Amino acid sequence: MKAIVIGSGIMGLATARVLGLRGFETLVLERNPKAQGSSIRNFGMVWPIGQPEGQALEWALKSRSIWLELASQGAIWHQKSGSIMALRNAYELALAHNFLDVERGRTLSMLHAEEAVARAPYLKRQGLLGALYSDSEIIVEARQAIRVIPDLLSATSNIRFRFNTAVKETATGYVITARGEKIDADIIVICNGYDFATLYPAFFDTAPMTLSVLQMLRSEALSLETPPICAGLTFLHYPSYQKLENLEEYKVFCGQRYPKLIEYGIHLLVSQNEQRCLTIGDSHVYGRDIDPFREEEIDSAILDYFHEVFDIPELKIKQRWNGTYAKLTNGFNHLLQEVDKGVWVFNGPGGAGMTLSFGMADDLIAKL
C-alpha cells in the first residue's frame, strides 16, 4: 500500500512516521527545499504542562517519549530540562498553588525565589516571589530537529522525502505536482500548515480556522545555561490553566498592569539552544488576512516584559522573525477530515504542534 503525505512540518513528519511504521510505502512531498513553516520558527518547546489532563496531556506525553526515542538516535540536540514559571505577584503565586493542588497527576513543585535563581541563574531575584517547576518539558532546536528527522525516518524505514515539490492538486488515489507529475497513492494526508489557498481552498474557506502571527527574537549566546522559562502571563495562554480559581481576577489585573501585552496577546516564553542563545517570544495577532509587516512596538513590549523577569541587561538580539500557525476557532486541538475518499486533511494543532503532533498522529493516523 502506498501513502503520500503533503508537507514536512511536524504534522507531516509525525504522520509519515506512523504510516511508515504501519507498513505503508510512504512519500512525503514538500514544496520548499527544506521545511520553512511554523515548525522551524518556534521555541522547540515540547510542553506537556500547557495541556489539560485527559487526551491532550496523554498525546503530549506520548509525543515527549517519541521525541526522546528519535533523539536517542543521536542527531537531534535536546534537553530534558523541565520548565520554570517565574511568579512575581500574589495573583501568580495563588494561581500556581491552585494548579499544584488540582493537578495531582503531574510532577510539579514550588520553588522559593532562591531555589529558582539557583536553577535559572538569569531570573531577576528582585521582585521574584517563587517559581513553579515542572519536570515534563523538553527542548529541541526546532530548525535543526525538523530538518534532521527526514534523514532519520528515511534511514530507518520505508519513508521517502521529496523536497522542492509543490502539490497543486489531489483527489482520490493521486496527487499532481506543480511540475505536472501524477503520483498514485492509496491514502493521501494533507499536512499543509497555514497554506489554505492551494489544496481544497473551498474546504478551508469554511473550516473553523484562523491564523495567528507571532513575533519572535533570538539573542546572542549567553555564558550560562538556563532551563526554559515562562512567566505569569502564560496562565492566560494555555488550556491547562483555564479552570483555575482566580484566573478572571488575574485577567483584570493584567489588563490594567500590562495593557500593551494583552492587546498584542503577548506572554513570555524563553528557551535556550545548544549554543546558549535564547529564543524569546511571543505575541499573537489573529486573522486570515496576514499583515507581513513587523511591529517594533510589539518587540519592545516583549523585551520590556523580558527585562522585568530576567536580569540580563547586556542582552543582544541577533535575529527576529515572524511565525504563523493555523489555529482552530472551535476550541479543538486538531482537525482530521476526509475531503475526498482516501484524502485526509490533518491540521490545526495551533500553538502546540511540537508538543502534540507525534502523540496525536500515533493515535489518530494509526486508526485511518
Ligand X SMILES: Cc1cc2nc3c(=O)[nH]c(=O)nc-3n(C[C@H](O)[C@H](O)[C@H](O)COP(=O)(O)OP(=O)(O)OC[C@H]3O[C@@H](n4cnc5c(N)ncnc54)[C@H](O)[C@@H]3O)c2cc1C
Among 232, 342, 349, 359, binds ligand X (CB under 6 A): 349
Residue 92 engages ligand X in binding (rule: CB under 6 A)? no
Residue listed under C-alpha cell 533523539: 71
Among 3, 9, 234, 345, binds ligand X (CB under 6 A): 9
Residue 360 engages ligand X in binding (rule: CB under 6 A)? no
Residue 227 engages ligand X in binding (rule: CB under 6 A)? no
Find the binding residues for ligand X in span 254-283 (CB under 6 A): 281-282
How far apart CA 346 and CA 343 sit, in angstroms, is 10
CA-closest candidate to residue 83, choices 331, 359, 357, 355 = 355
Residue 11 engages ligand X in binding (rule: CB under 6 A)? yes
Among 116, 339, 352, 361, binds ligand X (CB under 6 A): 352
Nearer to ligand X, 94 or 290 (CB): 290
By DSSP bridging, strand 343-347 and strand 187-190 are: parallel
Nearest distance, CB of residue 121 and ligand X, angstroms: 22
How far apart CA 138 and CA 83 sit, in angstroms, is 8
Q: How far does Cα 15 stand from its chain's mean position?
A: 16
Enumerate residues 6+ apart whose C-beta is below 8 A from 177. 29, 165, 166, 167, 168, 183
Q: Do the Cβ atoms of 43 and 281 come closer than 8 Å? A: yes
SS3 content of the chain, % helix, strand, coil (to 5): 35, 30, 35
Residue 32 engages ligand X in binding (rule: CB under 6 A)? yes
Among 26, 83, 272, 347, binds ligand X (CB under 6 A): 347
Which one of the spans 19-27, 152-160, 247-255, 347-355 is the region binding ligand X (CB under 6 A)? Answer: 347-355
Give the single-character DSSP code of 123. B
Query: Cell triple for residue 247?
Result: 484566573
Nearest distance, CB of residue 152 and ligand X, angstroms: 17
Query: Cell triple for residue 310?
Result: 530576567
Nearest distance, CB of residue 307 and ligand X, angstroms: 21
Residue 35 engages ligand X in binding (rule: CB under 6 A)? yes
How far apart CA 9 and CA 325 sit, in angstroms, is 11
How far apart CA 296 and CA 283 sit, in angstroms, is 12
Find the binding residues for ligand X in span 48-77 (CB under 6 A): none
Residue 6 engages ligand X in binding (rule: CB under 6 A)? yes
Among 86, 132, 199, 233, binds ligand X (CB under 6 A): 199
The SS3 assignment for 12 reads helix
Nearest distance, CB of residue 113 and ligand X, angstroms: 26
Among 3, 18, 87, 216, binds ligand X (CB under 6 A): 216
Nearer to ligand X, 350 or 359 (CB): 350
The count of chain residues that interact with ligand X, using the rule CB under 6 A, is 46
Among 4, 18, 26, 42, binds ligand X (CB under 6 A): 42
Residue 130 engages ligand X in binding (rule: CB under 6 A)? no
Among 153, 334, 355, 362, binds ligand X (CB under 6 A): 355
Find the binding residues for ligand X in span 163-192 (CB under 6 A): 166-167, 191-192
Residue listed under C-alpha cell 534511514: 155
State which H helix or E strand residue 250 sits in: helix 247-257
Find the angle CA(255)-CA(259)-CA(263) to the nearest 5 degrees. Answer: 100
State which H helix or E strand residue 168 sits in: strand 167-171
Which one of the spans 121-129, 242-250, 317-325, 337-345 is the region binding ligand X (CB under 6 A)? Answer: 317-325
Enumerate residues 6+ apart whose C-beta is below 8 A from 221. 275, 276, 277
Give one word for 334, left, alpha or beta, with left for phi > 0 and alpha for psi -120 to 50.
beta
Which one of the spans 109-117, 152-160, 291-299, 318-326 is the region binding ligand X (CB under 6 A)? Answer: 318-326
How far apart CA 16 and CA 154 sit, in angstroms, is 10
The residues that touch ligand X, with contacts defined as CB under 6 A, are: 6-12, 29-32, 35-39, 41-45, 47, 166-167, 191-195, 198-199, 214, 216, 281-282, 323-325, 347, 349-355
